[in-house]
Structure 1
Amino acid sequence: MNTPPYRVLVTGSRTWDDVTAIGAALEQAVIDAGERPVLVVHGACPSGADWHADHYARWMRGKGCAVDVEQHPANWRPGGIFDRSAGFRRNAEMVEAGADVCLAFIKNGSRGASHTAKLAQEAGIPVRRWTA
């Protein structure tokens, strides 16, 4: 029987640069998961919290931890037209997919990360917040 992964939804500012906070949060998630594998879910931003969480999770996997990554990039230009709401829709989809915990790394009141944390909380997902 396959054990479902412990889903860790990471949301954060594009300018988040505190790798230590992200690493400590992901390491705690691995502890919290117990025997379950960990799946780090994020929005695939090429900078900030998503980028750091992705790289830290992959580093952990390289060290033998049962950690994998699931990316959810926003479709910013469907049909070649810029869509300002794409990130918010993507965030809602990640929350709807479910998670065991949401790690929110919010810098300067990031609207996207704050929105995702709020949606997660409303969905009954425990939210752990870091702010800068």
Structure 2
Amino acid sequence: MTAPFRVLVTGSRDWPSPSVVWAALNDVRADLLVSGRPLVVVHGACPTGADTQAAQWAAVAGQFTTSVQEEAHPANWRPGGVLDRSAGFRRNAAMVQLGADVTLAFIKDGSRGATHTADLAEAAGIPVRRWTA
């Protein structure tokens, strides 16, 4: 069996352009069609912004093929009911440590979380494609 191609999507909570996220994921998927590798869309499960846009793309693509899967990694913001402001940064590091073939970073207004994830991915040797708004 062929190992899946893992694309890590990171982005601002208020990323304004779903069409940019969808086009980037469509480009990745198109590049994989010849290889036959399945695609796993990894994201941080934020209920808004680029994470949601990537999840929506994966849901639609998954209606047409079984070779697209979604892998969501929500941050544990309130363990024991106490706000943990570093939860997102730990979740981002964990997603990068799981490995990816490419990271798509959608960064609005210098988003600290998305920039952090993209920087960690680059440091780990994962190619990063960045879009800014």
Q: Identify the residue that residue 73 of structure 1 maps to in structure 2.
A: 74
Q: TM-score scaled by structure 2?
A: 0.95
The worse-fitting range, judged by mean Cα deviation, of 31-40 and 12-21 is 31-40
| Structure 2 residue identity aligned to 1:129 | R
| Structure 2 residue identity aligned to 1:106 | I
Distance 2:79 2:14 in 1: 25
Distance 2:52 2:41 in 1: 12
| Structure 2 residue identity aligned to 1:95 | V
Distance 1:118 1:32 in 2: 24
Distance 2:31 2:102 in 1: 10
Once the two structures are superposed, the pairs formed by residues 16-27 of structure 1 within 5 Å of their partners are 16-27=15-26
Distance 1:129 1:35 in 2: 26
Q: Identify the residue that residue 41 of structure 1 maps to in structure 2.
A: 42
Sequence identity, in percent?
A: 62
Distance 1:28 1:54 in 2: 16
How far 1:65 moved relative to its partner? 6.1
- Number of matched residues? 131
Q: Identify the residue that residue 65 of structure 2 maps to in structure 1.
A: 64
Distance 1:127 1:89 in 2: 19
The worse-fitting range, judged by mean Cα deviation, of 45-54 and 29-38 is 29-38
- CA deviations on 1:72-93 (whole Å, 9 max, x unpaired) are 0000011111100000000000
- CA deviations on 1:43-71 (whole Å, 9 max, x unpaired) are 00000000000001110111236211000
RMSD over equivalenced CA pairs, Å: 1.0
Q: Secondary structure at the match of 1:58?
A: helix
